[in-house]
Amino acid sequence: MRYRIFFELQINFNFICKYIVFVFLIFNSITIYSQTKSYTITGHVIDSLSQKPISNINIVSIEDNIGVVTNNNGFFEMVVSSSPITLEFSFVGYYNKQTFILNVSDTNFLVRLSPKTYTLNEVTILSDNNTYNSQINNFTLLDYDFIGDSILILQKRRSLGGIPSLILLDKNYDTLLFNKDIPRGSNKIFKDCLNSYHLITKDSAYQIVINHDNILFYEPHDIDWFYETLENCLFKKGENIFFEFSIYQGYGHEIIFVDETNKKKYLFLKYVDEKSLYSLRDDISTISSTYFLHSVVNASTNDSLTVSHINNYNRDSRFINDIADQAIENTICLFNDTIFYFNYYESKIQSFSNVHIPPNEVKIDCKNTFGWGPNLQVDQIEGKIYSIIKSKLFYKIYLVNTKLGKLDYITKVSIFRCENLKINNGFIYYLSSPNSSKYHVKKLSRIRLGSS
């Protein structure tokens, strides 16, 4: 019997086009606008007090009724059809602001937004200010994510068929917005590659839209189609949207990007863990020659020896992945408008400031650690990258020095008391529960990371 060990995932251009259409038309995060004459406006939005850039700010052209959002560094770009133009800037936690632009040929506008002050509502703060328990344990937390330094939480009542709700908190756990009228069965928050957020149920995905006074939802999309469209999308850098696809039975991947201007796809990089892949092939060959081929020759006899060989083959085949070396999982992320590719297979960090320029490379130094892992957390607010390495007892947190290729140990968290671990604004967040009861309460806890 012939075994097929290798296969390539062919990336169909029409499939990529589906991504582009979905991203452009559904999420409103990139503007598609075609007129006889157009103007491009660029700018930068910052906090008027801290002077730090603000991501995810909604920007709408009053005249054209089109919109974009700022990226992780507070920058935006918009194509409009008229001049002069009025832009409205809005986001929860900040006062709305309208800016009249007389000459749209001028670019790189600097916009300062003033933060709002909110009063405490719908939430009880524990004395240490590091744990969030909604309404004194009447709710249990299902999921959470971050919008800037605000925290978006999905929770439900602790009762049979508990009703879910969404709550947006500031960094001090004060309530900014609350909505209990959300789709039943909501169980997850999904952040896509364009920094839009979605509420996931068993059958559907709803885009979450947050303005200055409410949490809203767009019409749902079929969940299978939604994941097929967005699960492989990584991030957007400039005019390019990046995707990752598994190849060679998970022992490699291809990362491509699609230019939103000409709608063409390009190969960014390709990696295959050949050593582990060949080891897998050798293991399958050994099992085949030892058991299966012998059994086929004697199949007509149907004797106990043949049955024994077939059973042994089936047993050992199930453990091929345990016998073979596991694939090395290289990792990629976008940080400060630079693409960092953590190439563990070749022990180096490659940084790309431009897709058309060869990367800078730094040797990875794994001394005094258990090695690098694929779980990277980017803290855009603090401007740091962390590596989370899981051992048998702990999640160990390391600060990544991309210039020197080093890991600096920060802290550790017991794997028995936390799940859904994320890092934002200088804190490590995780869901924790006081006991293992079926109806236990999950709460949001956090630990301040060191400055090292």
* Residue 169, domain member (yes or no): yes
Nearest partner of 272 among 4, 2, 9, judged by Cα: 9
Q: Are residues 90 and 230 in the same domain?
A: no
The CATH number given to whatever domain includes residue 250 is 2.120.10
Number of domains within the chain:
3
pLDDT 10s per residue in the chain (452 long)?
222 322 333 344 455 555 555 554 444 433 333 334 677 788 889 888 888 888 878 888 877 777 788 887 888 888 877 777 888 888 767 888 888 877 766 567 888 888 775 443 333 333 346 777 655 557 888 999 998 888 999 998 877 667 899 999 888 888 888 888 898 889 999 998 888 899 999 999 998 888 777 888 887 889 998 888 888 899 888 888 999 988 877 778 899 998 888 888 899 998 887 777 766 655 555 545 554 444 444 444 444 444 454 455 455 444 444 444 566 678 899 988 899 998 887 888 999 999 888 999 998 876 655 566 778 899 988 889 998 888 888 888 989 898 888 888 888 888 877 888 999 988 999 988 766 554 567 888 888 886 44
Q: What six digits make up the tokens of 217? A: 């939802």
Claim to verify: residue 377 and residue 444 sit in the same structural domain: yes
Taken in order 138, 142, 148, 149, is the CA torsion positive or negative?
Answer: positive
The residue among 283, 307, 323 that closes a domain is 323
Pair (136, 225) in one structural domain: yes
Evaluate whether 53 touches 45 at the Cβ level (below 8 Å). yes
**Domain containing residue 85:** 31-113
pLDDT for position 133: 65
Which H, E and C letters describe the chain, residue by residue?
CCCCCCCCCCCCHHHHHHHHHHHHHHCCCCCCCCCCCCEEEEEEEEECCCCCECCCCEEEECCCCEEEECCCCCEEEEEECCCCEEEEEEECCEEEEEEEECCCCCCCEEEEECECCCCCCCCEECCCCCEEECCCCCEEEEEEEEECCEEEEEEEECCCCCCEEEEEECCCCCEEEEECCCCCCCCEEEECCCCCEEEECCCEEEEEEECCCCEEECCCEEHHHHHHHHCCEEEEECCEEEEEEEEHHHCEEEEEEEECCCCCEEEEEEEECHHHHHHHHHHHHHHHHHHHHHHHHCCCCCCHHHHHHHHHHHHHHCCHHHHCCCCCCCEEEEECCEEEEEECCCCEEEEECCCCCCCEEEECCCCCCCCCCCCEEEECCCCEEEEEEECCCEEEEEEEECCCCEEEEEEEEECCCCEEEEEECCEEEEEECCCCCCCCCCEEEEEECCCC
Q: Is residue 381, in this structure, part of any structural domain at all?
A: yes
Residues 204 and 353 in one domain: yes
Residue 1 inside a domain? The answer is no
The whole-number pLDDT of residue 439 equals 53
Domain boundary among 113, 141, 174: 113
Same domain as 190, residue 285: no
| Residue 430 CB-density burial (10 A; 0-12 exposed, 13-18 middle, 19+ buried) | buried
- Structural domain contains residue 336: yes
Q: Rg for the chain (alpha carbons), in Å?
A: 25
One domain for residues 333 and 318: no
Two tokens, residue 75: 């920058």
| Nearest C-alpha neighbor of 193 from the set 238, 145, 231 | 231
Predicted TM-score (pTM) above 0.85: no
425 assigned to some structural domain: yes
> Given the structure tokens 């016998």, which residue do they identify?
323
CA angle 215, 216, 222 (to 5 degrees): 130
Bridge partners (DSSP) of residue 133 are 124
Say yes or no: 239 and 175 in one domain.
yes
So what's the pLDDT on residue 343? 86
The one-letter amino acid code at 347 reads S
- Residue 21 inside a domain? The answer is no
pLDDT at residue 26, rounded to an integer? 46
Q: Interhelix angle for 13-26 vs 223-230, to 10°?
A: 110
Q: What per-residue confidence (pLDDT) applies to 2?
A: 27
Judgement on whether residues 238 and 289 belong to the same structural domain of the protein: no
Whether 205 and 343 share a structural domain: yes
118 half-sphere exposure, CB direction, 13 A CA radius: 23
CA distance 144 to 124: 17
Q: Is residue 433 part of a domain?
A: yes
Whether 354 maps to a domain, the answer reads yes
55 and 194 assigned to the same domain: no
- Indicate whether 105 and 132 sit together in one domain: no
CATH number of the domain that 84 lies in? Answer: 2.60.40.1120
The one-letter amino acid code at 217 reads F
Q: How far apart are the first and last CA of the chain?
A: 57
**250 and 311 inside one domain:** no
